[in-house]
Structure 1
Amino acid sequence: MNRQTLPGLFISHGSPMLALDPEQVGPALHRLSINLPQPVAIIVMSAHWESETLEVSTATRPETWHDFRGFPKELYDIRYPAPGAIELSERLLTRFADADIHANANSTRPRDHGVWMPLLHMYPDADIPVIEISLPMTGSAHDIYTIGQILAELRQEQILLIGSGSITHNLSELSWQKQHLDTPLWASKFRNYIVQKLQQQDFEAVLNWESLPHLERNHPTLEHLAPLFFAMGTGHRFSIVHSSFSMGTLGMDIYRFD
């Protein structure tokens, strides 16, 4: 069978409520999935699996983890029972070892909402194997970018690579009760700066995250921005799939790297 090349993606996965109230993002994810060749497997680096050393899920059927509190009961009833892919997981571990990157196998890690929530809208049948890899927060932005580069060739095997985080993520600034609010300049300027640099293929400006405008206001901690670095490593031709803000300041952008 001839395999087609898939892009790398950065997906802003938003609030867990996206699973029940898809807003604009759920339809955008669905449209994206039907316009792509169906993946033979999906690899996701999620903001919600932070680690010291890179880890690769080797579970054959990871549990659906509702790694949040205080939401409606129906959200906790959702399951995403996509299988793992042990042979592909072993290939990833070998690739990392060959690149002198230490990575551990993890057979017990459940699947967090940074993985299953966007995939619920893209591939609701949960019949495509999914492997989660961790976000090694002891590494630099360039290290995370390199992980994307190491896996980039897998796109040619019809394997979809996803960095799942958020283009802006400051929970203390969200207006939970009001969905349609004007976006403050500090959030829009941050998002627009990143888009401008990616369009100019000035990836270095984004990887030097300490210099990003209004960084601390948009990302008091780095874990939701870091999956963008992974996605950037998977391809150099950047395009915007979707752009919006939720609850005033939560950026819901989706980016594609070919």
Structure 2
Amino acid sequence: MSKFPAVFVSHGAPDLSLYPSPGRAFLSGLGDKLGKPQAILMISAHWGTSQPMVSKVDQPDTIHDFWGFDPRLNSLKYHASGAPDLAQRVNQLLNQAGIKSGVSASRGLDHGAWNPLMLMYPNADIPVTQLSIQPRLTPEHHFQIGKALSHLRESGILIIASGSVTHNLREFGKYPIDEPPLDWVIEFSDWLSKTISQGDLDALLRYRQLAPHARKNHPTEEHLLPLFVALGAGNETDTSELHSSYTYGVVSMAAYAFN
């Protein structure tokens, strides 16, 4: 059985699937590159809870958790089945590691989950469950979540962490989709890429203090926290940058694999 890397993808704006872009083209080919797993554990920036929660739904709804975008997006559906057995296993592994967690009987897939999955696995024929993040807790906390779940990769499970390398909503919308990236966006993205390639875990966990323009790129942390789950679930010293591009001048679409 294949051992999958833990993957972090930037899911971009909700309209990612509607308009051509390098990020969309990359995600459209990523599923074929990775191969077909038995099931997918998705960690999205758009489900925040006080403690980890995992969805135990048999047929998750497609959640349209945004507004102000092309109305065509509201008709998009991702019809993958849920993965309740995987959800139960995730819950057990977290609790065994001393990380108190629970299950949700109602949570569907938000756009941080279905947006990339619709491009990566358009046939929606792989069971999916979603794990929440804790926006008020630290990168270290999320790294330990990944550590607790790392053995899932040995049983045909693909762990996908979905967020954004840069995410400043105050700046989003000021520029067209093909606007070249701003300097402060590039400098942060380049620092992150270099630090990941060096396997410098301590610096990554302290990115808020060390990275250039960290707080401007992430006024709040929720869109980078999934990265640390992938980092913990994979090997922080065996990494690869899968993709790098930008949209709307301020949104990095970078993606990484932790092998």
Q: Normalised by the shorter chain, which TM-score bucket?
A: over 0.9
Matches for 1:162-241 after TM superposition, within 5 Å: 162-175=160-173, 178-211=176-209, 212-236=211-235, 237-241=238-242
Equivalent pairs counted in the alignment come to 256
Pick the aligned partner of 1:29 from 27, 43, 46.
Answer: 27
Shift of 1:177: 5.2
Q: 1: CA distance between counterparts of 2:93 and 2:57? A: 18
Q: 1: CA distance between counterparts of 2:75 and 2:181? A: 32
Shift of 1:22: 4.2
Pick the aligned partner of 1:67 from 65, 68, 81.
Answer: 65
Q: Is the 8 A contact 1:175 1:248 kept in 2?
A: no
Aligned to 1:249: 250
1:57-82 CA deviation, whole Å, 9 max, x = no partner? 00111110000012222110000011
Moved over 6 A (4+): none
Q: Secondary structure at the match of 2:170?
A: helix
Q: Secondary structure at the match of 1:133?
A: strand
1:141-192 CA deviation, whole Å, 9 max, x = no partner? 1110011111111111121101100000012213455222232221111111
The TM-score, its normalising length taken from structure 2, stands at 0.95
Q: 1: CA distance between counterparts of 2:20 and 2:7? A: 19
Q: Is the 8 A contact 1:37 1:158 kept in 2?
A: no
Q: 2: CA distance between counterparts of 1:116 and 1:8? A: 18
Aligned to 1:13: 11
1:142–1:65 distance in 2 versus 1, CA, 3 Å:
same
Q: 2: CA distance between counterparts of 1:207 and 1:38? A: 31
Aligned to 1:153: 151
Matches for 1:57-136 after TM superposition, within 5 Å: 57-136=55-134
Q: Is the 8 A contact 1:166 1:252 kept in 2?
A: yes
Q: Is the 8 A contact 1:44 1:115 kept in 2?
A: yes
Name the amino acid aligned to 2:84.
I
Q: Which segment drifts farther, 154-163 or 27-36?
A: 27-36
Shift of 1:130: 0.4
Q: Secondary structure at the match of 1:172?
A: coil
Shift of 1:209: 2.7
1:176-230 CA deviation, whole Å, 9 max, x = no partner? 5522223222111111111111111102101113212211110111000111111
Q: Is the 8 A contact 2:208 2:215 kept in 1?
A: no
Shift of 1:110: 2.1
1:9–1:22 distance in 2 versus 1, CA, 3 Å:
farther
Structure 1, unmatched stretches of 5+, are none
The TM-score, its normalising length taken from structure 1, stands at 0.96
Q: Is the 8 A contact 1:57 1:132 kept in 2?
A: yes
Q: 1: CA distance between counterparts of 2:149 and 2:234? A: 10
Name the amino acid aligned to 1:210.
R
Cα-Cα RMSD: 1.2
Q: 2: CA distance between counterparts of 1:53 and 1:255? A: 26
Shift of 1:88: 1.2
1:177–1:210 distance in 2 versus 1, CA, 3 Å:
closer
Q: Is the 8 A contact 2:57 2:107 kept in 1?
A: yes
Q: Secondary structure at the match of 2:92?
A: helix
Residue 138 of structure 2 corresponds to residue 137 of structure 1: no
Structure 2, unmatched stretches of 5+, are none
